[in-house]
Amino acid sequence: MTTGPDSTAVGQNDNPLTLTNLKAYYLTSYFGVEREVRAVDDISLSIRRNEVYGIAGESSSGKTTLIKTFAGAVRPPLKIVSGSIKYQFGDLELDPQAVSEEELNQIRWAHVSYIMQGSMSVLNPVRRINKSFKDFAFKHMGLSESGFWEAVTAHLARLDLVPEVLKAYPHELSGGMRQRVCIALATVCQPDFIIADEPTTALDVVVQKDVLAMLDEIRRSLQSSVVFVTHDMSVHANMADRIGIMYAGRIVEEGPTRTLFTAPKHPYTAHLVSSLPRIGDTSRKPALEGRPPNLSDPPTGCRFHPRCPLAIDKCTTEVPPLEVVGDDHRSACWRSDDVTPLTTINELESEGRA
Amino acid sequence: MSAILEINHVSKRFAMGGVFSRSYVEAVVDASFTIEEGQPEVFTIVGESGSGKTTLARMILGLEEPSSGELRLSGQLIGGKRNRAARLEFMRHVQPVFQNPFEAFNPLKHVDRYLEASARVLLGAKEDDQVDAAMDEALQKVGLSLAEIRGRYGHELSGGQLQRVAIARALIPNPEILIADEPVSMVDASLRMSIVNLLRDLRDNFNVTVLYITHDLATAYYISDRLAIMQKGYIVEMGPAQTILEAPEHPYAQLLKDSVLSVADAGKAKVEAPDRSLAQKASEQSGTGTLVAGSGGRVVRRVAQE
């Protein structure tokens, strides 16, 4: 198999997170009927230091399940069937499945933090923001009470939030401010590793750009790694260093952002990139027929083959491995050599300016 | 040429608070535009949440009464309809498609029952085969067929299919105007373009005028003929969609365009926070400004120069 960790590690072994052949299924058994939903099916990847790794995929492609596995949020019916997860922060090495809840709590927030989707439902509506900060972050920072509030206030200032928000209830803040509070909460302990699950999906365009700019800046100053999950390819284009494209529980393509946009090697990626409408372009955008597969009964062979314009007989029976197709670039397609970009991205706008 | 939809100086204010602490929110202020008959187009209303675009759509659907001004459909006043017959007659001409198809359909009902009810009530089809024919015709227009849809529940269809069923339902009475409020924001990325392309085809092949409400400038550019940009209740720029989006003149329209994430710089870009100061300033002056003609057949809200 070429999907082993060797093919991903590029001379670095201090990657904060390494997943190896991970399989996580939802196993249910009602009235003797057993059902398994293969939401994460044989995924190997590693996240490097100080990079933004984007995970793209439609709903029910398994991206949230993937995050849950390494955020230490595996609860029945979700079960890790095989494979391994390894965190490494300096000398601290840890497998979130193997350790006890107490040990996991030591790395939570201090090393790994999580910006969740839907800021309204994340913050406790009947507690002021300062209580949430105290609940989440106080014990991880190991500071005195006054030192803690000083650090929190200084941190809020970096996100352009006034200290008064600490006294507010979540409903008193606007959507963009709440999302910034969530980002502040997740970054106040200066974690090495941040997981962001659709942090800007419910926001307006202008606020979205605000929040993204702030997240980017705070990440640069903390030098942490970020796993950024969203279905919006235009957000990935602007945030991610590398992108992994998920389809039906598998990573179908992974590579540097620029490469995926200009020279994709999987037909699904080629479609996602070409179907993005852009201002200044009214040519008809192709739509992909069919629907995302049902994960409890996925198609045989390559899971994309029923919708794939390039499918051949081999695709219906044999699963394509995630193979190296270029510099730091992997694709799981039998015909990856035949994939051509369906659209041309113009030369870098910034090159003229710089 | 007569206007099919006329919106004349329409405003809507909502009262908030109690008797003694009453305050008002101006949701829509003095909006005017017309849609001509026999000239199907995609008319897009763009704005952030709170800009009044949904309130305007609800007034066009007769779900909300304007505080002042009037809305006319083929010369008839919209609103003030007290009886079912008048309401149904109105719904034969104007039909809505809502944002989230998963919430629009009852999960315990077969989706074809919605189509059937629309065919019987709005189209007046009596016989079963008439009803089936009307359902199938509408489903064909959206690229589905009755055989695929009959007896299905909402959860058995993908978001894209379900939204197409919702559009098919709206098409049953052969309306002149379809009001689509954020129809693609809940649909998966790979299926999104099929809905957007469908709206474009409805205009080109079936002479339906689509009032497309969105905050996504890129799809707006892709399908719209005309465009109105709303900021805090005011229409600030309106005119030919591509002219405006290529070179917006109003500061708020410029801010919106600057906020669109470009993919041209994929992997090399640095996201910078957009500058709101000019748009903020323009917003404060919206009350004193008027819509004046700008370049390329557009109108822009400006404060008159003394």
Q: Which pLDDT band holds residue B169 (cuts at 50, 70, 90)?
A: very high
Close Cβ partners of A149 (under 8 Å, ≥ 6 residues apart):
A130
Highest mean pLDDT of the ranges A25-39, A246-260, B13-27, B291-305? A246-260
pLDDT for the residue B59:
92
Q: How many CA atoms lie within 13 A of B49 on its CB side?
A: 10
pTM value is: 0.83
Counting as low any pLDDT under 50, the low residues of chain A are 1-12, 348-354
With bands split at pLDDT 50, 70 and 90, how would you rate the model's confidence at B37? confident
pLDDT in the model for residue B305: 60
Distance CA A67, CA A51 (A): 17
User: Taking a C-beta distance cutoff of 8 angstroms, is the pair B91, B100 a contact?
Assistant: no
Give A239's contacts (C-beta < 8 A, 6+ positions apart). Answer: A52, A54, A212, A215, A216, A228, B271
Average pLDDT over residues B179-184: 89
Burial B188-219 (b: 16+ CB within 10 A, else e): bbbbbbbbbbbbbebbeeeebbbbbbbbbbbb
**Burial level of B100, CB count in 10 A (0-12/13-18/19+)?**
middle
| pLDDT on residue A11 | 44
Q: What percent of chain B has pLDDT over 90?
A: 42
Give the pLDDT of residue A172: 85
Q: Which residues contact A225 (CB under 8 A, 6 or more apart)?
A: A16, A17, A47, A48, A49, A50, A51, A52, A53, A192, A193, A194
pLDDT score recorded for residue B1: 61
At A2 the pLDDT is 41
> What confidence tens digit (pLDDT) does each residue in A174-191 have?
877 888 888 888 888 888
Percent of chain B with pLDDT over 70: 98
**pLDDT of the residue at A7:** 42
Instruction: Summarize pLDDT for B189-238 with one digit per residue, the tens.
Output: 777 888 899 999 999 999 999 999 998 888 899 999 999 999 989 999 99
Which of chain B's residues have a Cβ under 8 Å away from the Cβ of A257?
Answer: 266-267
Which among B15, B23, B28 has a CA at the least distance from the CA of B231?
Answer: B28
Contacts of B272 in chain A (CB under 8 A): 209, 213
Q: With CA atoms as reference, report the closest residue to A180 among A152, A231, A214, A138.
A: A214
| Gap between the Cα atoms of B32 and A165, Å rounded | 40
Specify the pLDDT at position A77: 85
- The pLDDT score that the predictor gives to residue A210 is 84
* Residue B257 near chain A (CB below 8 Å): yes
pLDDT value at position B15?
84
State the pLDDT at residue A352.
Answer: 38
**Which residues in chain A (236-255) have CB-CB distances under 8 A to chain B?**
237-241
Nearest-by-CA chain B residue for A201: B185
Measure CB to CB from residue B260 to each of A214, A279, A346 and give the nearest one.
A279
The confidence score (pLDDT) of residue A34 equals 83
Task: Give the pLDDT score at B11.
Answer: 93
Which residue in chain B has the smallest CA separation from A348?
Answer: B265
**Does B173 score more than 80 pLDDT?**
yes
| pLDDT bucket at B85, cuts 50 / 70 / 90 | confident
Task: Give the per-residue pLDDT at A337.
Answer: 87
A257-283 confidence digits (pLDDT tens): 999 998 899 999 998 888 888 888 888
CA distance B89 to chain A (A): 35
Rounded CA separation B88/B93 (Å)? 9
Task: Give the closest-approach CA distance of B197 to chain A in angstroms.
Answer: 8
List of chain B residues whose C-beta atoms are within 8 Å of the C-beta of residue A292:
158, 188, 190
**Which of A200, A206, A242 is the best mutation test for B, with the most CBs of B within 10 A?**
A206
pLDDT at A120: 64
Parallel/antiparallel/unpaired status of strands A52-56 and A225-229: parallel
> CB distance from B189 to chain A under 8 Å?
yes
What's the pLDDT at A6?
A: 44
**Weakest-pLDDT range from A300-309, B79-88, B129-138:** B79-88
A277 touches chain B (CB under 8 A): yes
Q: For residue A21, what are the CA distances in angstroms to A79, A84, B93, B272, B306?
A: 14, 7, 57, 37, 71
Q: Which is nearest to B9 in space by CA: B85, B87, B72?
A: B72
Name the pLDDT band for B279 (thresholds 50, 70, 90): confident
Whole-angstrom distance, CA of residue A336 vs CA of residue A330: 10
* Average pLDDT value for chain B: 88
Res B275 pLDDT > 90:
no
Q: Are B269 and A350 in contact (CB under 8 A)?
A: yes
- Can you give the pLDDT at residue A351? 44
Mutation target among A60, A161, A238 for the B interface, most CBs of B within 10 A: A238
* List of chain B residues whose C-beta atoms are within 8 Å of the C-beta of residue A327: none
Q: Which residues pair with A195 in a beta bridge?
A: A114, A227
All domains in chain A, ordered by first residue? 17-240 (3.40.50.300), 244-338 (no CATH)
